[in-house]
Amino acid sequence: MLSPANDPAGVRGEPLVSLEDVGVLRNGRWLVRGVDFSVSRGEIVTLIGPNGSGKSTSAKAAIGVLKPDEGRVERKPGLKVGYVPQKLSIDWTLPLTVRRLMTLTGPLPERDMHAALEAAGIAHMLGAEVQHLSGGEFQRALMARAIARKPDLLVLDEPVQGVDFAGEIALYDLIKSIRNLSGCGILLISHDLHVVMAETDTVICLNGHVCCRGTPEAVSRSPEYVRLFGSRAAQTLAVYSHHHDHTHLPDGRVRHADGSVTDHCRPDDGHHAHAPHEHPHDHDHDHDHDHAHDAHAHDGQHAHDHAHEHAHSRSGEGRHA
Amino acid sequence: MLDDFFVRAILAGVGLALTTGPLGCFIIWRRMAYFGDTIAHSALLGVALSLLFEVNLTLAVFAVAALVSVLLLFLQKRQALSADALLGILSHATLAIGLVMVAFMSWVRIDLIAFLFGDILAVSTTDIALIWGGGLFVLAAIAWLWRPLLAATVNAELAEAEGLKPERARLFFMLLMAVVIAIAMKIVGIMLITSLLIIPAAAARRFSVTPEIMAVLASLIGAAAVVGGLFGSLTYDTPSGPSIVVAALILFILSLLPRRHRTVMQGQGS
């Protein structure tokens, strides 16, 4: 999925950050395990998944805020990260204007500061205290701060929370233009998929481990899929919200659909009804779409082995189509 | 001039207040008021140990305060108890152990009140040198740690992700607290140190638009409280340490009075 064929900028090289079989253990419980993905220059990777599925944990492991308890995280030496955390509350006793927020982690040329605030659409808020901003304005300010420092890797944890729908689209446009203009890699965490889809290079679905991954961009070229993603609601979600076939038990072990219990959640241990696979979005669309849909929707019974095989066999050539 | 006890007291007090200003800002931004109290209370254990082993008082107090800070950091990481409960346990346990140890040492007669509430009128020229030397060191260290400390105050993970070292900054900050408490004990005493950290910073909040301005204002307000409190104690013959705290409180209340309404600059947009 990192093949140059679906590289919009054409500058994608070695990964900025890559995770290999990463697991994070906290209080005897694996928050995530067996996570591997990478983000390259100019690439947008989106992590999705239900609450508690380890999206933020994986992102924090990627940028070194959390040390993985197993597996490896490799970052390009001297990697400059811009980070918008999921939760950020600033005590009102701390006097902080938007201007001061911009230089929080490092000095900044005045011109870059203004350009970033302009891009985020809050240039007029420069002198405002951050405690007086609305949720959406604050989110934009955080985004402006992260991009102003011209990072190699931008990590956005639920960047559109508290933003209304129009603002949401504007923010995703902003994310797209940041990628296109600066060529930085973007690791995006999101639970609302519909808008993200069009610009994301790789979607990684997490549920304690990598459930599946796909490249919605190649798919979006097909008129049927554009219609699907464009109509944004139920159908789009149906593509990515599959039934998880296993339950994470309170003690950190995992009960699988076949009733067996293992102490970790490896996708390739044979317990999972679906082996790790790419969502076959990027194959040729010369076959019946309803049929392919079954494969995406994961109807829970996983009675569509043949659809999977089909997808696998085609995905290789589909990427370069 | 330094012969006059009153001048010495003012010099010592102002030197301390200038130091506690920026430190106090971080204490309230990070909601560490109770932490400051705990470290201060542990100072009495330091006093007892210094008497027992006949070592330098300031050094012993610093050592115990630093030890308790590091212990707190460690225990908080273990997450066995809430930070609040841990602070409560350590705060009063160290104070009580200190008092018990002092009671056992029947061969020393010490003025407990002087340690609990300070005796700024008794500071020597050596004390002043220690306060100003230590204070300048603390201020220089705070300036050096300013960016990571401030960024970590907003969000530690953000600071970490963007290449600052919030954990290290936090540890240094706690050690600086221990230094300040060791040098402040003589002036306002164990029970009142935290007030000199918190009240001037709180009073500075409403007049500040940036963290830096607030830090400087907190220092100045603290210095004003020292001068006002000392003159008050001279005039009304009240204990000097508590008088300084009362003066700081008066400045804080004044800061709360409604001001002429000033529109916040938000540019043309709104």
- CB atoms B158 and A85 under 8 Å: yes
pLDDT value for B231: 94
Q: Is B210 on the interface with A (CB under 8 A)?
A: yes
Please tell me the least confidently modeled range out of A6-15, B128-137, B176-185.
A6-15
Residue A213 domain-assigned (yes or no): no
CA–CA separation, B10 vs A311, rounded Å? 82
Residue A257 domain-assigned (yes or no): yes
Q: Which of residues 69-108 of B touch A (CB under 8 A)?
A: 79
Q: Check whether residue A119 and residue A10 sit in a common domain.
A: yes
Residue A210 domain-assigned (yes or no): no
Q: Which of A203, A233, A262 is the last residue of a domain?
A: A203
Q: Check whether residue A278 and residue A244 sit in a common domain.
A: yes
- CB atoms B210 and A97 under 8 Å: yes
- CB atoms B202 and A93 under 8 Å: yes
Rounded mean pLDDT of B12-35?
A: 93
Residue A212 domain-assigned (yes or no): no
Q: Is B157 on the interface with A (CB under 8 A)?
A: yes
Q: Could you report how far apart the first and last alpha carbons of chain A are, in Å? A: 13
Please report the number of interchain residue pairs, chain A to chain B, with beta-carbon separation below 8 angstroms.
88
Residue A139 domain-assigned (yes or no): yes
- For residue B258, with 0-12 CB atoms within 10 Å meaning exposed, 13-18 middle and 19 or more buried, which class applies? exposed
Q: Which residues pair with A39 in a beta bridge?
A: A17
Residue of A nearest to B265 (CA): A127
Q: Which of A173, A203, A233 is the last residue of a domain?
A: A203
Which of A81, A94, A124 minimises the CB distance to B162? Answer: A81
- CB atoms B154 and A83 under 8 Å: no
Q: Check whether residue A226 and residue A190 sit in a common domain.
A: no
CA–CA separation, B183 vs B181, rounded Å? 5
Q: Check whether residue A175 and residue A296 sit in a common domain.
A: no
Find the domain containing A91 and state its range.
4-203
Q: Check whether residue A268 and residue A179 sit in a common domain.
A: no
Which of A60, A80, A93 minimises the CB distance to B205? Answer: A93
Q: Check whether residue A53 and residue A190 sit in a common domain.
A: yes
Please determine, for residue A269, whether its predicted confidence score (pLDDT) is greater than 70: no
Residue of B nearest to A146 (CA): B162
Structure confidence by residue, pLDDT tens digits, A252-267 = 566 665 666 666 655 5
Which of A81, A93, A132 minimises the CB distance to B161? Answer: A81
pLDDT value for A13: 67
- CB atoms A95 and B159 under 8 Å: no
Reduce the DSSP state of residue A320 to 3 states and report it: coil
* Residues of B whose CB is below 8 A from A100: 210-211
Please determine, for residue A7, whether its predicted confidence score (pLDDT) is greater than 60: no
What's the full length of chain B, in residues? 270
Q: Check whether residue A40 and residue A128 sit in a common domain.
A: yes
A contact test, residue of B265, B266, B268, B270 with most A CBs within 10 A: B266
Q: Check whether residue A93 and residue A238 sit in a common domain.
A: no
CA distances from B74 to B10, B49, B79 (A): 38, 23, 9
Please tell me the least confidently modeled range out of A189-203, B47-61, B76-90.
A189-203
Q: Check whether residue A164 and residue A228 sit in a common domain.
A: no
pLDDT value for A277: 43
Rounded mean pLDDT of B175-180?
A: 93
Q: Check whether residue A187 and residue A279 sit in a common domain.
A: no
CATH for A61: 3.40.50.300
Domain total in chain A: 2
Interface of A with B (CB under 8 A): 27, 60, 63-65, 80-83, 85, 88, 90-91, 93-97, 100-101, 104-106, 124-129, 132, 149, 155
Q: Check whether residue A71 and residue A192 sit in a common domain.
A: yes
Q: Which residues of A172-196 are buried (b: 16+ CB within 10 A; e: fewer)?
A: bebbbebbeebebbbbbbbebbbbb
Q: Which residues contact A159 (CB under 8 A, 6 or more apart)?
A: A84, A139, A142, A143, A171, A175, A188, A190
pLDDT value for A280: 42
Distance from CA of A74 to the nearest CA of B (A): 14
CA–CA separation, A172 vs A159, rounded Å? 9
pTM recorded for the entire structure: 0.77
Phi, psi (rounded to 5 degrees) for A252: 95, -10
Structure confidence by residue, pLDDT tens digits, A40-66 = 998 888 887 777 778 889 999 999 888
Q: Check whether residue A153 and residue A119 sit in a common domain.
A: yes
CATH 1.10.3470.10 is right for the domain spanning B5-255: yes
- CB atoms B161 and A129 under 8 Å: no
Please determine, for residue B125, whether its predicted confidence score (pLDDT) is greater than 80: yes
Residue A129 domain-assigned (yes or no): yes
